[in-house]
């Protein structure tokens, strides 16, 4: 028979996966995710915490994990203000996750690697690690297409200016004094003027970087955390 704590963790897994999946879909399509999603996630998380406190009070023996909930919320607000997290939806999602899964879950034999860190921090850590794999994927993609030009091949791929207008991408190049220069992040997120400048200069193909919403690595990090646990802590323990 599945224990009450495991059932609550399964509910957290289902709720988190469902909401983050839908948020990832809307973020890809419209670059927006409704605030209502995080209200629902946080509310469900609060209800599950109350149920767990009433049925499995021993889970709250270490009050640090509850204290970390407001700490995590404040940290995400600061990260967003410092632009360490670009999307407001990403910051709100992590805030809601701090309420949904403050404690490390235990569903049968998972996660594989345990950690002393609050689980919302584990999710964020795993998400960042997975996000850092994107340059490796882009490099492999560019090697296959024989487009090897550093640092461009680590950050994006070549695309026609015409197609760039139809996709969520940023140019990795900018024309300065008539010359093409490397430019990682535009000062303005509207890049239509830059694309038109390329066309006026007879440049039909440029390096671009995809606007990959952090919501996607966050979803992957959430699932990864439930299955594997704290990857960073495990890697550090293996090295030490």
pLDDT digits (tens, 9 = 90+) for 120-141: 999 999 999 999 899 999 999 9
pLDDT of residue 1: 42
Residues 115 and 163 reside in one and the same domain: no
Residues 23 and 83 reside in one and the same domain: yes
Residues 122 and 141 reside in one and the same domain: no
Residues 25 and 114 reside in one and the same domain: yes
Residues 20 and 115 reside in one and the same domain: yes
Question: At 55, which CATH number?
Answer: 1.20.120
Residues 162 and 181 reside in one and the same domain: yes
Count of structural domains, the chain? 2
How far apart, in whole angstroms, are the C-alpha atoms of residue 64 and residue 240?
Answer: 26
Residues 230 and 201 reside in one and the same domain: no
pLDDT of residue 188: 55
Q: Which domain holds residue 179?
A: 134-210
- How many Cβ atoms sit within 10 Å of the Cβ of residue 100? 28
Residues 88 and 10 reside in one and the same domain: yes
Residues 189 and 99 reside in one and the same domain: no
Residues 125 and 140 reside in one and the same domain: no
Residues 23 and 138 reside in one and the same domain: no
pTM: 0.83
Residues 90 and 80 reside in one and the same domain: yes
pLDDT digits (tens, 9 = 90+) for 164-185: 888 888 888 888 887 888 887 6
pLDDT tens for the chain, 240 residues: list them. 458 889 999 999 999 999 999 999 998 888 889 999 999 999 999 999 999 999 988 888 888 899 999 999 999 999 988 877 767 899 999 999 999 999 999 998 899 998 889 999 999 999 999 998 999 999 999 999 999 999 999 989 999 999 988 888 888 888 888 788 888 765 555 677 778 888 888 888 999 988 888 999 999 999 999 999 999 888 888 888
Following DSSP, what letter does each residue of the chain receive, concatenated?
---HHHHHHHHHHHHHHHHHHHHHHHHHHHS---HHHHHHHHHHHHHHHHHHHHH-GGGGSSTHHHHHHHHHHHHHHHHHHTTSS--HHHHHHHHHHHHH--S---BTTB-SB--SS-HHHHHHHHHHHHHTTHHHHHHHHHHHTT---TTHHHH-EEEEHHHHTTSSEEESEEEETTEEEE-SS-SSS--HHHHHHHHHTT--EEEEEE---THHHHHHHHHHHHHTB-HHHHHHHHH-
């Amino acid at each position: 028979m599945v224990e009450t704590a495991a059932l609550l963790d399964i509910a957290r897994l289902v709720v988190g996966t469902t909401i983050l999946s839908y948020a990832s879909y809307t973020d890809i399509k419209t670059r927006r995710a409704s605030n209502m999603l995080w209200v629902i996630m946080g509310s469900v998380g609060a209800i599950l915490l109350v149920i767990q406190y009433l049925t499995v009070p021993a889970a709250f023996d270490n009050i640090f994990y509850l204290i970390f909930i407001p700490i995590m919320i404040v940290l995400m607000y600061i990260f967003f203000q410092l632009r360490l997290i670009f999307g407001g939806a990403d910051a709100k999602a992590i805030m809601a996750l701090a309420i949904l899964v403050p404690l490390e879950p235990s569903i049968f034999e998972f996660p594989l690697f345990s950690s002393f860190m609050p689980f919302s921090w584990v999710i964020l850590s795993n998400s960042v690690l997975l996000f850092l794999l994107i340059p490796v994927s882009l490099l492999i993609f560019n090697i296959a297409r024989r487009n090897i030009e550093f640092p461009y091949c680590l950050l994006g791929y070549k695309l026609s200016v015409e197609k760039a207008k139809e996709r969520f991408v940023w140019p990795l190049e900018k024309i300065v004094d008539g010359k093409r220069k490397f430019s990682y992040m535009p000062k303005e997120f509207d890049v239509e003027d830059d694309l038109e400048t390329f066309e006026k200069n007879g440049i039909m193909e440029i390096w671009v970087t995809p606007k990959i919403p952090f919501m996607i690595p966050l979803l992957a990090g959430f699932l990864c955390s439930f299955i594997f646990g704290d990857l960073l802590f495990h890697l550090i323990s293996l090295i030490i």
